[in-house]
Amino acid sequence: MQPTPMTLPLRQEKGLLLALGMTTGVEFYVADGLNLILVDIAGAMGISLDQASWILTVYTGAMFIGIPLSGWMAAHFGPRRYLIGSLCLFGISTIGCMISMDFPVFLFWRFIQGIAGSALFTWWRGTIYTVLPKAKRGASMQKTSMRLSLSSACGLLVSGWVTEFLGWRLMFLPALVLAGAAVALLLRHYPDLPPSREERHQRPDWFGAAIAVVSIGALQVVLSRGDVDDWFASGLIRGLSAITAIGVVLFVAWQLSPRNDAPLLHLGVLRDRMSLSAGLLGVPTGMILAGCLFELPEFLRGVMQPDFSASQAGVFLAIYSLMTAFARSQSGKVHARIGQRNGLLLAMMLLVLSMLLINRLMTSGTPPLDYMPALALFAACQTLLLPGIGSGAMSRVSDERFLDAVTIYMTARQFGASLGISLLTVLIDHRLTLHSSRLYEALQTGRESTAAWLRQGGGLLLGHSGLSPERAVEGAIDLLSETGRRQVETLAYADGFLFMAAVGTLTVFLIPLMPPTPVKK
């Protein structure tokens, strides 16, 4: 399917951009909202926070499967039908999540939601490049990106407030209202482009699609279950790893085979240095964005003292989204003046600085406002990073290979997102064990000071609460245990942000792969 640039009436063009912003805003609202209220769902369903993290893992895994297929689906059915159909399926799965009484059923609907969400996540960008003239693409991308950041801020405020005062299930209702409005706008303003007539879009590459689904599914299970099953000590993990490796080799070989006259993806676009570098940089980009936005809400809701409520955490994260919207309005000027490659280098420097600053500041009692400078740096990093890599994926690709370039880049980003969340979960779990053992050793070494602290704490409880001496001692022990838990978890989450700084540092060495671009004198 080739881009079909057209000059739309100004009113239709504005309506189309608004519809795209609302469509992707639905996905942003649900994704950000569930990140925010994971603690509440875990408590309501009687599961651990580690089990609740599967709500995110299943969704990212489903998107990882859906994105490689999205280009073919849009070309086969036509982008308008594909986007509206995916939005309707997303709405149905959202209702399924809202009414699910069992955790496995909830995860099933999250998987369906991830498949549908892959279209919403990718096709606002695909539509702009497919429908609008080249001269309007940059401004339209920037305008829609700013709207998405603003919608993310509004979504965090609304989802946090609704969860706290009305219950977590009702958090999904605003998404359904927004989805209905987006469908109405798409029906009215989205041009009805015909499906592609290319032979490879008329008949599916079933073999390639099957290999992709099996390989991605096996990899997702490895990433999710590896730590639980002791990685390669487990026969299951070894077997699934082998399936993943063989599947990747088979998929690449089949897509490049001359016998395959209708490949799912034209991997030949990676011969272009710009597209190859964008695909490679997409992996750490996905790790950085998904990892940081996964870790921060968990820390705010479960470790900070006092605990943030859903509405308080929503306000805190909404401020970050507003900073991102403002920074995004300036990102185009920065790239024009210093070039994409230098812009990416600056983004990585800002990322490393922000992650190190958060790591340095992180204690269970750090005032929330102290984190704002670090979040402002991360917002600036994000607004330089995404346009710089995303435009590189498509800047020099021919029209007939445009969908392939977008799909490969977004697949790489989603792989990075799945990898980032999985690695952070494993890292935090291991660091919790390490820091717990160190704390226990410190308490054992300093028995006298520990006993003195317990006597002092017990005395305070005895004098102010009217407890019996035995209950006062038990209360002091509980207080020490809770204080230790928060300290251990704080150290583990701080290590997570240090890990993201390391990812940013390593990414710097990939940036020279991207060729230099012209700069404005």
When the pLDDT of each residue in the chain is averaged and rounded to a whole number, the result is 81
Q: Is the pLDDT of residue 458 over 70?
A: no
Task: Give tens-digit pLDDT for 48-57.
Answer: 877 787 888 8
What residues contact 351, with CB distance under 8 A and at least 6 apart? Answer: 288, 377, 378, 381, 385, 500, 501, 504
Q: What is the gyration radius of the CA atoms in the chain, in angstroms?
A: 24
Does the pLDDT of residue 519 top 60, yes or no? Answer: yes
Mean pLDDT, range 362-391, rounded to an integer: 83
The confidence score (pLDDT) of residue 176 equals 94
Which residues neighbour 157 within 8 Å (Cβ) at sequence distance 6 or greater? 311, 314, 315, 318
pLDDT of residue 480: 62
* Rounded-to-integer distance, Cα 245 and Cα 430, Å: 26
399-452 tens-digit pLDDT = 666 777 777 888 888 888 888 888 888 888 888 888 888 777 766 655 666 666
Alpha helices in 257-339 (DSSP H): 273-302, 310-338
| Local confidence band at 471 (pLDDT 50, 70, 90 cut-offs) | low
Three-state secondary structure of 109-173 = HHHHHHHHHHHHHHHHHHHHHHHCCHHHHHHHHHHHHHHHHHHHHHHHHHHHHHHHHHCHHHHHH
Joined together, the tokens standing for residue 215 give: 């390989």
For the chain, the distance separating the N- and C-terminal CA atoms, rounded to the nearest angstrom, is 37
C-alpha–C-alpha distance, residues 126 and 408, integer Å: 12
Specify whether the CB–CB gap between 64 and 220 falls below 8 A: yes
Contact between 1 and 196 (Cβ < 8 Å)? yes
CA angle, residues 314, 317, 321, in degrees to nearest 5: 120
DSSP of 36-52, one letter per residue? HTHHHHHHHHT--HHHH
Taking the C-alpha atoms of residue 392 and residue 347, their distance in angstroms, rounded to an integer, is 15
pLDDT, tens digit, for every residue of 116-144?
998 888 888 778 877 877 777 777 877 88
Q: pTM for the full model?
A: 0.81
Cα–Cα–Cα angle for 518, 520, 521, rounded to 5 degrees: 115
pLDDT given at position 50: 74
Helix, strand, coil share (%) of the chain residues, nearest 5: 85, 0, 15
Round to whole Å and give the CA distance between 30 and 175.
Answer: 7
Per-residue pLDDT tens digits for 252-302: 888 888 887 777 777 777 787 787 888 888 889 888 888 888 888 888 877
Contact 270, 279 (CB under 8 A): yes
Q: Which two tokens stand for residue 418?
A: 């799945």
Question: Exposed (0-12), middle (13-18) or buried (19+): which is 397, by Cβ within 10 Å?
Answer: buried
**Which residue pairs, CB below 8 angstroms and at least 24 apart, start in 31-35?**
31/59, 31/117, 32/152, 32/155, 32/156, 32/159, 32/293, 32/317, 33/155, 33/156, 33/159, 33/160, 33/163, 33/171, 33/175, 34/59, 35/293, 35/294, 35/297
pLDDT value at residue 450? 60
Q: What CA–CA distance (Å, rounded) separates 83 from 85?
A: 5
454 pLDDT exceeds 60? Answer: no
Q: Distance of alpha carbon 222 from its chain centroid, rounded?
A: 19
304 has pLDDT over 70: yes
Residue 357 confidence class, pLDDT cut points 50, 70, 90: very high
When comparing pLDDT for 384 and 448, which is higher? 384
Is the four-CA dihedral 402, 407, 412, 417 of positive or negative sign? positive
